[in-house]
Amino acid sequence: MRLLPLVLFGLAAASPALGQDAERGRQLFNACAACHPVVAASGQDGPSLAGILGRGSAVLTDFRYSRAMGRAGLTWDEATLDRYLADPQGLLPGTRMAFSGLERAADRADVIAYLKSLKQ
């Protein structure tokens, strides 16, 4: 029984879903904000990420997506965003996003928590 608290702590530390920090995600997102707006308008190098959770890939009409993104047929749920943020080119070869990815699972979880907080 003495090991139970340690096991539970280890599981919480290993699982990004249990430790999502939207405020930290907002801070990490500052690097993304140069290209991606968080309001429902575009006009930047990347599409708006407002309301991205549950949205299909390449569906905004005010942004011109790469051919790879246009053909992807993805739905941006937490698992897909995690895979994409880890390695955009690995998930979607040919995407125009010039970002190598977030290596740390905790960083990706925090960014996703921030994205979940955005409204469309």
Q: Where are the domains of the chain?
A: 20-117
Residue 4 has pLDDT above 80, yes or no: no
Predicted pLDDT of residue 20:
87
Amino acid at 104: R
Residue 75 has pLDDT above 50, yes or no: yes
Q: Give the C-alpha separation, 24 to 53, whole Å.
A: 18
Residue 24 has pLDDT above 70, yes or no: yes
Predicted pLDDT of residue 78:
97
Q: Which CATH architecture has domain 20-117?
A: Orthogonal Bundle (1.10)
Name beta bridge partners: 56: 75
Q: Which residue has the higher pLDDT, 44 or 69?
A: 69
Residue 25 has pLDDT above 70, yes or no: yes
